[in-house]
Amino acid sequence: MALAHAGMRVSAMERYSRSLTIAGLATLTVAAGLIWLLLSEPVALAAAVDHGDLTVIAAAMGRAIVSAITTLVSYL
């Protein structure tokens, strides 16, 4: 009986671990994008933060992602 209970606990830990890993990767991706924007478009990022407008940040991140994908495809 104790082994079955321990097996269920491992399964629950695996589920939480997987969820935390996905959340951590998403957070890391957003943080890396914001750092990239800070280096590549500091004026747009500063204006967006000053006005509290997230659409400017989202548009700038979209442009950065498209630019990165275009650059990668051009190398292929």
Tens-place pLDDT, residues 23-75: 999 899 888 888 888 888 888 888 888 888 888 888 888 888 888 889 889 98
**Amino acid making up residue 44:** A
**pTM of structure:** 0.59
Q: Residues 58, 44: contact at Cβ < 8 Å?
A: no
**Unique residue bearing structure tokens 């830990």:** 13
**Neighbouring residues of 40: CB distance < 8 A, sequence distance ≥ 6:** 64
DSSP secondary structure letter of residue 8: H
Closest CA to 24 of 32, 12, 35, 36: 32
